[in-house]
Amino acid sequence: MDAELQSLADALGRGIAEGSPDLNALLTDTAHRSVVPSLAPRLTDVSRRFQGNSLAWPLAARDLFEVLRLVRRRDAVVYEELKAIAEAFAEDERARTAP
């Protein structure tokens, strides 16, 4: 499995599951600017899974990984934006949990 994609999927998945409205707005805005037409609906589906029953999280994480893989291949600009969003969320998360 691709370590970079997995790291991004993990960070974004945690953010989506946390229910951050700012993160969700950023993801939605970014998805709608993509040249990949299926990105916005797929991210919406993934978000619903993460915000629903926690038993669905493994499936949502796998779907998010696949979405990121597709975007990396077909829309480098949006992939870099999603990467920056994930990295910013992870940095914020570290700051919030630091002793």
Residue 83 has pLDDT above 90, yes or no: yes
The structural domain count of the chain equals 1
Q: Mean pLDDT throughout 31-38?
A: 91
Per-residue model confidence as pLDDT tens digits over 45-75: 988 888 877 788 888 889 999 999 999 999 9
pLDDT score recorded for residue 23: 86
Please, which residues have CB within 8 angstroms of residue 46's CB and are 6 or more apart in sequence? 16, 60, 63, 64, 67
Query: Do 42 and 53 form a contact (C-beta atoms < 8 A)?
Result: no
pTM of the predicted model over 0.75: yes
pLDDT score recorded for residue 71: 94
Domain region containing 7: 3-97
